[in-house]
Amino acid sequence: MTPKRTYHTLETLTFDNRFVRELPGDPDMANTRRQVTGACYSRVTPTPTADSRLVAFSPAAARLMDLKDETCQSDFFARVFTGNYLLPGMDPFAMCYGGHQFGNWAGQLGDGRAINLGEIINQRDERWMLQLKGAGPTPYSRTADGLAVLRSSIREFLCSEAMFYLGIPTTRALSLTLTGEAVERDMFYDGHPKLEPGAVVCRLSPSFTRFGNFQILAARGENSLLQRLMDYTITTDFPHLGTPSQEVYEAWFREVCKRTMDMILHWMRVGFVHGVMNTDNMSIMGLTIDYGPYGWLEDYTPGWTPNTTDAAGRRYCFKNQPQIALWNLGQLGNAIFPVVKHLEPIQAAVDDALAYVQQGQNAMMAQKLGFQHFEPASDAAIIADLLEVLQQVETDYTLFFRGLSLLTAPEELSENKVPSFLETAFYAPDRITRAQVMRLNAWLALYQKRIAQDKGSPGDRRQRMNRVNPKYVLRNYLAQTAIDRAEKNDFSRVWELLDVMRKPYDEQPDREEFAEKRPEWARHRPGCSMLSCSS
């Protein structure tokens, strides 16, 4: 029998705050930009704002805190999660960490515009850290103001929840609020700043610890504190591994490698591109974190990146994400080496992660194609041929796989015509050449023979495919439509998208407009194609 849920008010939330209780903090309480040594965090209070107004909240995320919808709709809730009121038990702080940015060591970074309010324990004994993004400067803000604007906050809020419902490990988003103040931003760093509405997102995660938390301590030679942070992380976030020891350190790193690669495989499955896979944006728990210039593949272009800063090098483009994750894991391995003291288990874990993600990509693509199992003798060539076909003409990644599930076997394939079930996947079907149609249909004929070998019904295959190939993803142009309305004080599209993305694999007949490919007006519009880290 399921125990009856009891709900909390904000004042009765149970705060534990183990991170600040068990790890050393910065003794300097001044909120001034500085290098922080010998500490894992600095205590800092959110900056009060002129006002606080709720834009939206996630009912599902609220349940993680045992909160009712009515509580989240109150003015008091908006005050708390804009940073204008600290609840009893809150002990706000910003984390100290470093990281590699675009492959180069950047030194100390830290929570520059994120302030952790504290850790709650819900009635299921789950630990959730509450974090405000955009609530003011911290000692780690460097030359920035620690604030966030409405457009980037809408994107973070919606994507955090959309990713969860896609089945992808992610941090969550509780709420999105307005501050009542204007913030100056130069969206593309091109000398055209403007004032925009200020906003705050409250994020939830079991932990916000990053690869960079360990890297900064190793870089400074603070090995005693490094081991202390490792012990804390294992005990708190990986308790199933047991008491920290040499063997457990090695097992922990192996698990971090596996969780990270599982996350990447999910990204590749749905066509998600993170855009900024710096080591300071890598969660130690294998969660997607820090939604900046992200995007979903529209047409299948493996070298596409949504990040303007990465446009020249394309380090973080779609196809590179598995390799970059491995590189980042190597940097984490370097950081923990002073405690592990042996290179062999670290290198073995990274090598195993490479094999794991290679096998995982094959299995994932087999699932997307509806195969019951990956058959190396045939399927590697089928997958490689398909990816070449998808690049011949502008083909929508999401819609192609969703449409492919409608193929019935056997089905006649014309040399001169794209099959009707795939027409919507092409951006210009009338401009596809006869040679391209023949190449596509030749692949489809090969695919028909392969699915016949599984001896399942078309209906069973369709169900398998539709469980892993979403119909609805948070395309950048959809998020931009919500931003456009919100900047006119209409938040209805934010709520609508939040609801649509709760069921990304389902048919939602009254919401077909949200499953359409990118419209032509969005091809080059800012916010709909490329984005900056300020987006």
Active centre residues (catalytic): 280
Give whole-number Cα distances, 418 to 305, 425, 469, in Å.
29, 10, 21
**Alpha carbon distance 452, 513 (integer Å):** 33
Q: Specify the residue for token string 């290098």.
A: 35
* C-alpha to C-alpha distance for 142 and 280, rounded to whole angstroms: 15
Q: Which amino acid is at 227?
A: Q
Say how far apart CA 422 and CA 517 lie, in whole Å.
Answer: 12
State how beta strands 104-108 and 93-95 pair: unpaired
Q: Which of 59, 62, 81 is nearest to 199 (CA)?
A: 81
Structure tokens at 257: 């490698």
CA distances from 31 to 42, 44, 109 (A): 9, 7, 15
Half-sphere exposure of 393 (CA within 13 A, CB side): 21
Phi–psi pair at 521, nearest 5 degrees = -65, -20
Angle at 423 between CA 422 and CA 426, to 5 degrees: 95
Residues 66 and 406: their CA atoms lie apart, in Å, by 41
